[in-house]
């Protein structure tokens, strides 16, 4: 069964450093998403991406964040200068699209745990 | 905010009993989805119900949606210890989801 994969599973970085989190969505999916979950809190939407551009983003997704689909398979989230409060689990998701994209089931990856020291 | 909020926050039952979790939201939606998350793990999609549907079944899961009350319920019948997890509802706007805080379900063997 196709699945969304994410690498690395755990990333430790120093405050101020740049990190890139990687995701491989399901191959025939057209919509891609990043979410984060701070320990013990709810899952928060960061950004959605379709047709090589951002569709929607939340207030969390400020200039420190960027997303990219550098090739036909990867979908990346970059945090330029990490802060302590960026420590969280980051989930990538993808959906097949059609009917507005958000109407379809989203398949989530296992997440990358980011720890900022 | 369009966020769904689950109720109760925590639920503890015996194996074999039914578990009911509720979700309320604030604005109109395209669909509502329920997810499950085991501790420290990713989210697993359980079921999607569209705004024009009232009830949906999948195995031991039954989901209802009442758009007039802006609420949904998830019923897990004949619960098992393996159902122990957090359950979230997510409401869909255009190209983004809003997750609630979740219900922590503990099924005691």
Query: What is the block-wise mean pLDDT of chain B (109 residues), using blocks of 10 residues?
Result: 75 97 87 87 88 94 95 96 94 74 93
pLDDT value for B96? 66
pLDDT value for B89? 92
Query: Residue A31 above 80 pLDDT?
Result: yes
| Burial (Cβ within 10 Å: 0-12, 13-18, ≥19) of residue B54 | exposed
A64 close contact with B: CB closer than 8 A:
no
Q: Which residues of B touch A101 (CB under 8 A)?
A: 94-95
Helix and strand element counts for chain B (H, E): 0, 11
Q: Which residues of A touch B23 (CB under 8 A)?
A: none
Between A19 and B51, the more confident residue is: A19
A112 close contact with B: CB closer than 8 A:
no
Q: How far apart are CA A82 and CA B56, in angstroms?
A: 43
Q: What are phi and psi of B18, to 5 degrees?
A: -90, 150
Q: How many CA atoms lie within 13 A of B39 on its CB side?
A: 5
pLDDT value for B100? 85
B95 and A108: CB-CB below 8 Å? no
Q: How far apart are CA B93 and CA A55, in angstroms?
A: 12
């Amino acid at each position: 069964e196709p699945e969304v994969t994410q690498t690395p599973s755990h990333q430790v970085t120093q405050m101020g450093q740049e990190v890139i989190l990687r995701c491989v969505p399901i191959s025939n999916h057209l919509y891609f998403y990043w979410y984060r979950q701070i320990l013990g809190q709810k899952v928060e939407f960061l950004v959605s991406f379709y047709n090589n551009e951002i569709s929607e983003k939340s207030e969390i997704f400020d200039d420190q964040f960027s997303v990219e689909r550098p090739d036909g398979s990867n979908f990346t989230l970059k945090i330029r200068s990490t802060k302590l409060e960026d420590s969280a689990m980051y989930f990538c998701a993808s959906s097949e699209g059609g009917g507005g994209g958000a109407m379809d089931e989203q398949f989530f990856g296992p997440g990358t745990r980011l720890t900022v020291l | 905010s369009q966020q769904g909020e689950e109720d109760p926050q925590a639920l503890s039952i015996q194996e074999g009993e039914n578990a009911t979790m509720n979700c309320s939201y604030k604005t109109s939606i395209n669909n509502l989805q329920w997810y499950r998350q085991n501790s420290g793990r990713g989210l697993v999609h359980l079921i999607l119900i569209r705004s024009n549907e009232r009830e949906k079944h999948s195995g031991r899961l039954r989901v209802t949606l009442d758009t007039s009350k802006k609420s949904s319920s998830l019923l897990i019948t004949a619960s098992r210890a393996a159902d122990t997890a957090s359950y979230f509802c997510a409401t869909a706007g255009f190209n983004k989801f809003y997750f609630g805080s979740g219900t922590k379900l503990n099924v005691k063997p």
